[in-house]
Chains A and B, each alone.
Chain A
Amino acid sequence: MALPKQSSLPHSSALHTQQQGMHQHTAAEFSVSYTQYLDSQSRVKGQLPDWAQDLDVLEKFYRMMTLTRLFDKKAIALQRTGQMGTYPSCLGQEAIATGLGYAMQATDVLAPYYRDQATQLIRGVKMEEILLYWGGDERGSEYPSGPSQDLPICVPIATQITHAAGIATAMKIRHEKRVAVTTCGDGATSRGDFYEPLNLAGAWQLPMVILVNNNQWAISVPLEIQTASQTIAQKAIAAGIPGEQVDGNDIIAVYERCHQAIERARSGKGPTLIEAITYRLCDHTTADDATRYRPPEALNQAWKIEPIKRLQTYLHNEGYWNEAKEQALISDCEKKINQAVESYLSTPRQSEQDLFDFLFEETPHAMLEQRQHLLDKVAVQKTATQRPSK
């Protein structure tokens, strides 16, 4: 797509003559593509990419999406039974995070938002770490055996996109063949922390991919209140970088387009924004009640096009998947999830000094008194609870 340069700007006298029939021409023209390989009926549209002819690969995707959905369900159950704090489900968005995770290389860096469970699992974050994080324990972002450079889950909406631009800047300065990948929601695209790094990525041609999970909602606020833009993808075009849409419930499309974008960035050709269209099938978080604002009909419709069933049906139709395999997969996933839950629940609480000891490399002198105060207070509490009752 060629980007024609803008011709001379209209000024007041030109505007005046315009009314008398001044010549106008199109100064710039753009389009936004939409990619889908498997439609909502699991029918193949057009030609599948070569890699997707390999059903083993699709099975790998299917397994991860299934694991993610079952894990997610368990996490909600833990919250509901008072064993974990507020949790944001990813129900309905599993294909996006899974496709992205497999499209990334281990040496790339992920700056995630909070519905990237599958991407994080693929990158070596453990289920128990995700539970620890939402269970109010900072060690959930320590990833001692996981992706050592990935950022932790980001709660202040969109700020991770700016960090990813910084990470991509570092990679570019050092001529590295790595890519900074970041994700966000549709609501995030209203913030300065979406537009500012997007603009920078274009200006500096950063090795960066931004994947927007357009699930139609930002808590209770529907997309049409966020923006009058016809697509989110086209916001990239204003920054001089390609923006495109994919069917976020079609993992083949998600993987293919993420893979292309990441490899494009890796080869020095610059950033891409991908808008993955999906629907949030869950409440915003466990603290939300979507029945207050989400029309039930829209939800019913969305369930008909959800990603896991779509791939399952395809694998079924190809004669590759059956009920026995499905049952075996579910019990395998449940075993792993139960182990993770057990590990989460049996993780001892952090020691009290950890409140202080990770803030600075060396705790400043001025903080030692506060630190000691906490240690003393906890010591008193401990002896009080150990004292036998009369």
Chain B
Amino acid sequence: MTTILPLQKTLVEAVNLALSHEMRRDESVVILGEDVGVNGGVFRATEGLREEFGVRRVFDTPLAEALIAGIAVGMSTQGLKPVAEIQFMGFIFATVEHIACHASRMRNRTRGRLHCPLVIRAPYGGGIHAPEHHSESTEAMFAHIPGLRVVIPSSPKRAYGLLLSAIRNPDPVLFLEPKRIYRASKQALIDDGESLPLDVCFTLREGSDITLVTWGAMVNDTLKAADQLQQNGIGAEVIDVATIKPLDIETILCSVEKTGRCVIIHEAARSFGVGAEISAQIAERGLFYLKAPIARVTGYDTPMPYYKNEDHYMPSVQDILDSAEQTFDFVRKAS
């Protein structure tokens, strides 16, 4: 028995590690996208894979996003497991027809005869001073599609474990990678092929006064806010939603039952977002747990501004703190 030593890995390296692990384990996994081959992806998520697995399993496509998603659909009906990269989430819109009309429905419309075990990966979110169309967070648009899973990791370990699960899952998964934290920190990782479960939230920190619900790059900011709240004597529970759809509302509800307060934090535009869905479900099932109204800390209903104004748009640690303190201090006025 050889012991596998833990490696210090960033989130994007963890993605790479999961891809190579699964390609080694499962012959049917193939990688496609723009610049994923020799170049190893513009963020280097597929670095070294062409060298190890060859051009038949790691290939550059023509520059055509609808094509990438559409051929992934076709390949997956043939029993391959395509992992397709869309270079930036801002360019994902051309894929929507293939995702919403085909990948997410194939099993249903053939009554189980065919299915689409594919993963579409895309870096998403702001905060890296990228050009226009390179900073969007439109996970809610995809979470609305029946038959599709939407998964977002928030740390190297969760990127590794959740991506393994996404590839192994027999149904289509949109895997959104928060590029702001692609290289933010390293975590000790063991490349043992151990996956993490989909469809569940991860409680990252326990607390009894307030529940902070978030995902993606905002997880780090939320954890920072929770530290400061602690210093102010407020115990915050931090939940990383991780699988946006299907949503594990039970974990959130259990926490809200305990704390009686909830703040939802996301980078995406405010209205009709995932935060709205979570607060609706809390209202439906846990209204009387609440000691204060649910609050949302989010981006605005504006396009993602160009990078000089990015900080106006992005929720900050201070925004989270302010909202959490207001929620904590809320006193119901006698009517």
Contact = CB atoms under 8 A, between A and B. Distances in A.
Interface of A: 109, 111, 138-139, 141-144, 148-149, 151-152, 156, 159, 162-171, 173, 180, 192-193, 196-197, 199-200, 203, 354, 358-361, 364-367
A203 B63 CA distance: 12
Contacts of A200: 61-62, 64, 67, 71
Interface residues of B, number: 44
A152 B73 contact: no
A351 to B, nearest CB: 12
Given A163-B74, A170-B80, 12 more contacts: A141-B113, A156-B97, A162-B73, A167-B75, A169-B75, A173-B30, A173-B56, A173-B57, A192-B66, A193-B70, A358-B107, A364-B199
Interface stretch (B241-249, B297-305, B326-334): B241-249
Contact of A171 (B67, B78, B101): B78
B199 A365 contact: yes
Greatest chain B CB density within 10 A among A149, A173, A199 is at: A173
A68 to B, nearest CB: 23
A169 B113 CA distance: 20
B6 interface: no
Contact of B199 (A139, A197, A366): A366
B199 A180 contact: no
Contacts of B170: 361
Interface string B62-101: 1010110011111111111010000000000010011001
Contact of A111 (B67, B74, B249): B74
Contacts of B113: 141-144, 148
A173 B28 CA distance: 10
A192 B64 CA distance: 9
A239 to B, nearest CB: 10
Nearest to A153: B109
Given A162-B71, A173-B80, A203-B62, A366 B107 contact: no
Contacts of A163: 70-71, 73-74, 77, 102
A361 B74 contact: no
Contact of A166 (B74, B109, B248): B74
A199 B62 CA distance: 8
Contacts of B70: 159, 162-163, 165-166, 193, 196-197
Contacts of A364: 199, 246
Contacts of B76: 166
Nearest to A170: B78
A141 B74 contact: no
Interface string B168-179: 001100000000
B111 A141 contact: yes
A360 B246 CA distance: 11
A171 B80 CA distance: 10
Greatest chain B CB density within 10 A among A159, A163, A364, A367 is at: A163
Given A162-B70, A163-B71, A366-B247, A199 B64 contact: yes
B111 A358 contact: yes
Contacts of A159: 70, 97-98, 101-102
Contacts of A138: 108-111
Contacts of A354: 111
Contacts of B247: 366
A193 to B, nearest CB: 6
Given A138-B108, A166-B71, A167-B75, A361 B171 contact: yes
A365 B246 contact: yes
Given A111-B74, A359-B146, A152 B199 contact: no
Nearest to A148: B113
B112 to A, nearest CB: 5
Contacts of B111: 138-139, 141-142, 354, 358
A151 B75 CA distance: 12
Contact of B66 (A148, A193, A358): A193
Contacts of B97: 156, 159, 193
Nearest to A175: B56
Contacts of A196: 62, 64, 66-67, 70
Contacts of B66: 162, 192-193, 196
B31 to A, nearest CB: 12
A361 B64 CA distance: 30
Interface string B18-47: 000000000000100000000000000000
B107 A361 contact: yes
B114 interface: yes
Greatest chain A CB density within 10 A among B79, B101, B111, B170 is at: B111
User: Nearest 9 pairs between A and B by C-beta?
Assistant: A166-B74, A162-B70, A166-B71, A366-B246, A170-B78, A364-B246, A163-B74, A196-B67, A167-B74
19 contacts: A138-B108, A143-B113, A156-B97, A159-B101, A164-B74, A165-B71, A166-B70, A166-B77, A167-B77, A167-B78, A170-B80, A173-B57, A193-B70, A196-B62, A196-B64, A203-B62, A358-B107, A359-B108, A360-B107
B115 interface: yes
A366 B148 CA distance: 13
A361 B73 contact: no
B71 A197 contact: yes
Contacts of A366: 199, 245-249
Contacts of B115: 361
Nearest to B281: A366
A141 B245 CA distance: 27
